[in-house]
Amino acid sequence: MKIAPFGVEQWMNEWETGAVTNLAETCVDSMTMEELLDISDASGTSGAREEIVERMMKLRLSYGDILGSDELLESIASMYGRAGRGNVMVMNGGSAANFISLYTMIEPGDEVVCAYPTYQQLYSIPESFGASVKLLRLRYENGFKPDVDELKGMISDRTKAICVNNSNNPTGTVMSQSELREIARAAESVNAWLYCDEAYRFMVHDQSAEIPSAFDLCERAVVTCGLSKCFSLAGLRLGWVVAPEGFINEAACRRDYTTISCGRLDDLLGCVAIKNRGRIFERNLSIVRGCAAMLDEWVNSERRIDYVKPEAGTTAFLRYDYEIGSEDFCRGLYRKDGTFLLPGACFGPEFDRYLRIGYAYSPDVLEEGLRRVSGFLRDLDEEAGPN
Ligand SMILES: Cc1ncc(COP(=O)(O)O)c(C=O)c1O
């Protein structure tokens, strides 16, 4: 089966490791093992850290519980309003969760509608399984929110799934509960799945707001998430699918062929992370909110850069007004002084005057990186001459 090259991941693989200031990182500043254990120790349970280390040392490195430990499945389910452990399947990261879910769902000849720009898995995997994919473009003028009337015009009895990503990577926009419900109703009207990648769901900038899981809003929803972004634990490679039990059973049948089990260490530390998510989110939201404010100030200070201000997540989609394609822009910036941004063209040719910035990594890196981007913009201003 053929599959389109993954634009974002290929660009990251090529440029990321040599970057001096990396403004393309999408995980909130990743934690060390030590930080994770410190956070669990701060839980007030005396000896929590020692107990975890002891459990790790005694852990027999077998396959472990094939479907994941009871504690892990139950703690994941507890993050959803109406999920039980039978609604949860753990995989190696959200990317594997997306793959197995779409592998379970899609058959040749199906139609899929996918809102984009988004994480490319959500349309290229269905396409590789033989679906005919219709892309619903998210427009700057609509605040990068789906136009539900346009969506309704794209679905039919052949539609198997409507794929969305809430909050959205790259734009950082959020669909509200009522917007999500409207899309869910559109999916229900043609008996299609609502497929929602929720990798950034817990990083909402407004302290009083929350992003509802699509699973809690609709009967025929499949949602994915993981520990990489909001929990800062990409190195654990733990993600999950939450879906109706029948779907999970179907997916489990495919999982036997690809995964057997997730690592036992990942399972153990995943339980620690989810149990301590209050403190982890507190740490991360303070980074995300501080960095988002710094980014906003910078965008307002740059005459030829604008954006739809992100409401959640760790990324924003910067629109620029210079006569240079986004790949040349990013190569030029990188060559000048090692600053790394992601070209909008990785999300499709329509987005060639955009750049994706990942801003929630470290305030110092962000500050330095933005200073360097401004330096590059002054070079472009100079080349363009007075206007
Ligand atoms: C929207 C979205 N979903 C899923 C993933 C996959 O992440 P992981 O496999 O590390 O959980 C990413 C990674 O960038 C993402 O941005």
CB of 358 sitting under 6 A from ligand 1: no
CA of 249 to the centre of ligand 1 (A): 23
**234 bridge partner residues:** none
Q: List pLDDT tens digits, range 360-386.
A: 999 999 999 999 999 999 999 998 876
| CB 316 within 8 Å of CB 357 | yes
CA of 97 to the centre of ligand 1 (A): 9
CB of 167 sitting under 6 A from ligand 1: no
Q: What pLDDT score does 40 carry?
A: 87
Q: What pLDDT score does 252 carry?
A: 97
Task: Please state which of the four CATH numbers 3.90.1300.10, 3.40.950.10, 3.40.50.20, 3.90.1150.10 is assigned to the domain occupying 7-32+279-375.
Answer: 3.90.1150.10
| CB 130 within 8 Å of CB 106 | yes
Closest atom of ligand 1 to 226 CA is 11
Prior bond to 167 cis, omega within 30? yes
For the chain, the C-alpha Rg in angstroms (whole number) is 21
Mutate to test the pocket of ligand 1, among 95, 202, 203, 211 (most ligand atoms within 8 A of CB): 95
- Indicate the fold that domain 61-276 takes in CATH: Aspartate Aminotransferase; domain 2 (3.40.640)
Q: Do the domains 61-276 and 7-32+279-375 match in fold?
A: no
CB of 315 sitting under 6 A from ligand 1: no
Candidates 5, 4, 79; CA nearest to 271 is 79
Q: List pLDDT tens digits, range 182-206.
A: 999 999 999 999 999 999 999 999 9
Written as one letter, the residue type at 47 is: G
CB of 26 sitting under 6 A from ligand 1: yes
Q: For residue 209, report the phi and psi dihedrals to the nearest 5 degrees.
A: -110, 155
Which residue do the tokens 């620690």 mark?
272
What pLDDT band is residue 89 in, cutting at 50, 70 and 90?
very high
CA of 377 to the centre of ligand 1 (A): 30
For the chain, give every domain's residue range: 7-32+279-375, 61-276
Report the C-alpha gap between 316 and 318 in whole angstroms. Answer: 6
pLDDT at 238 over 80: yes
Closest atom of ligand 1 to 92 CA is 9
Q: List pLDDT tens digits, range 160-180.
A: 999 999 999 999 999 999 999
CA of 357 to the centre of ligand 1 (A): 15
Q: List pLDDT tens digits, range 72-85.
A: 999 999 999 999 99
| CB 307 within 8 Å of CB 318 | yes
CA of 92 to the centre of ligand 1 (A): 11
CB of 226 sitting under 6 A from ligand 1: yes
What is the arithmetic mean of pLDDT over 148-168? 97
Closest atom of ligand 1 to 98 CA is 4
Q: List pLDDT tens digits, range 16-31.
A: 778 889 999 999 999 9
CA of 26 to the centre of ligand 1 (A): 9
CB of 95 sitting under 6 A from ligand 1: yes
What is the arithmetic mean of pLDDT over 52-75? 96
What own/partner pairs with CB < 8 Å and gap ≥ 24 does 2-9 have?
A: 2/128, 3/124, 3/125, 3/127, 3/128, 4/120, 4/124, 4/127, 4/128, 6/120, 6/121, 6/124, 7/120, 7/345, 7/346, 7/347, 8/119, 8/120, 8/342, 8/346, 8/347, 8/356, 9/120
| CB 24 within 8 Å of CB 314 | no
User: Helix (H, G, I), strand (E, B), or coil: what is residue 6?
Assistant: coil
* Claim: this prediction has a pTM higher than 0.85: yes
